[in-house]
Amino acid sequence: MQKSLFRMSLFAFSFCLGAAFLVHAEQQEPFIIGLDADMSAVAAEGGTAIFRGASLAIEEINQAGGLLGRQISLVVKDHRGNPARGLRNLAQLSEEPNLLAVIGGVHTPVVLQELDLIHQKPLIFLVPWAAGTAIIDNGFEPNYVFRVSVRDSEAASVILSNIKRRGVKRVALILERTGWGRSNEKSMEQVAAKLGIDIVATEWINWRQQAFDEAVTRIADSDAEAVVMVANAPEGAVAATSLFNNRKTQQLPIVSHWGIAGGKFAELLGLDILTQLDLSVLQTFHFQQANNPQLAESLLARYRSSFDAEASPKSIKGQVGLAHAYDLIHMLAQAVETAQSSEPKAVRDALQSLQEHQGLIKTYVQPFVENQDALWASDYILTTYDVQGDLIPRPRNEAE
């Protein structure tokens, strides 16, 4: 009897010890941050930049001991700019037992499609690029989406203010026919009315559209004095080529939202045309004009070591995505440590009450307290393409 009791006790002890070991092992599995972005289609340069910025931040956090004693692993999903594929990717990521957060990509339409699922679960969702105003002003309470990026309503103010300083009063809009384009149409109309600028033509361009000459003829007939372009790289190159080929629009100033900077715009357009256009591109960060030069220099050295030994401060494609993702991941880590929890509500509350973060783009002071957008018009800059097809900063006062 005593031997039987001993065996039972030994079995129970072994079972408990094994269960405790399994629980401990599960606790030590890495946290997962999912990346759901275009990694292989029209905005792959932007997706790659986001991946690299997130990877560099995660590497730093892991080398410093991780979060709550656990390492972080980045799991990448490629939605190729397709909202349905993005929603499927997000659903798959949401089933990961150690998911900490998901970071999105370039395309506003994809994120808009994902908002319901983000808040049903809920999931911490970080936006390092997609600029649609409704991504943050989404009507969900509590809101689980946090953005370090451009906000379309703010972009309109910077773009049209720059145009007004040139003495321009008549503007044509070229907008991609998506939720992002419609977001910008609304913002541009509101800001133009305040600035006394007339929008004399609004032309829409579809994804993968190959001809735009008829639309440019209408722009020319409208006597527009400048063009605002909201498009990604392939469609932006088609529109810019048609503008250049029309005698009346060839020399018009073009101020572009940053979609063209997330893909192979310079390559698609060709340097011959590119260097003859009066083209400005909205951005938020550039290694040549960094607010935190010491961190920028250190990060550039690590970028060269990890991804491209020949990279220069101007040759990194989509570097806004890199900078935004880098800062977002570090702010997420700060929130997790503050909350001492990976539970979504606790992390959300900690992000929303974050007081200060010394970031790559700037020193963030209460970045999410009143609004879950961390960058505003005063943080934006304008860039242009040089003769090598790389974006370089224009003087800061051009974006004020």
For residue 28, the 8-state DSSP code is H
With helix as H, strand as E and coil as C, how does 206-231 read?
A: CCCCCCCHHHHHHHHHCCCCEEEEEC
Tell me, yes or no, whether 7 lies in a domain: no
What would the two tokens of residue 181 be?
């384009």
Tell me, yes or no, whether 227 lies in a domain: yes
In the beta sheet, which residues pair with residue 393? 383
Based on the domain organization, do 389 and 244 belong to the same domain?
A: yes
Tell me, yes or no, whether 173 lies in a domain: yes
Based on the domain organization, do 70 and 158 belong to the same domain?
A: no
Based on the domain organization, do 273 and 300 belong to the same domain?
A: no
- Tell me how far apart the alpha carbons of residues 310 and 318 are, in angstroms, rounded to a whole number: 16
Structurally, how many domains does the chain consist of? 2
Question: What pLDDT, in 10s, does the model give residues 78-133?
Answer: 999 999 999 999 999 999 999 999 999 999 999 999 999 999 999 999 999 999 99
Q: Which tops the pLDDT comparison, 4 or 210?
A: 210
Based on the domain organization, do 160 and 264 belong to the same domain?
A: yes
- Tell me how far apart the alpha carbons of residues 229 and 255 are, in angstroms, rounded to a whole number: 6
Tell me, yes or no, whether 20 lies in a domain: no
- Tell me how far apart the alpha carbons of residues 253 and 122 are, in angstroms, rounded to a whole number: 44
Question: What pLDDT, in 10s, does the model give residues 387-396?
Answer: 999 999 987 6
Based on the domain organization, do 256 and 390 belong to the same domain?
A: yes
Tell me, yes or no, whether 345 lies in a domain: yes
Q: Taking 50 as the threshold, does the pLDDT of residue 292 lie above it?
A: yes
Based on the domain organization, do 170 and 275 belong to the same domain?
A: yes
Domain range spanning residue 391? 153-283+382-399
| Helix, strand, or coil (residue 18) | helix
Based on the domain organization, do 131 and 48 belong to the same domain?
A: yes
CB atoms within 10 A of CB 94: 16
pLDDT score of 15: 44
284 neighbors 129 (Cβ within 8 angstroms): no
- Tell me how far apart the alpha carbons of residues 6 and 12 are, in angstroms, rounded to a whole number: 10
Q: What mean pLDDT is predicted for residues 313-330? A: 97
Question: What pLDDT, in 10s, does the model give residues 229-283?
Answer: 999 999 999 999 999 999 999 999 999 999 999 889 999 999 999 999 999 999 9
Tell me the CATH number at 145.
3.40.50.2300
Q: Taking 90 as the threshold, does the pLDDT of residue 3 lie above it?
A: no
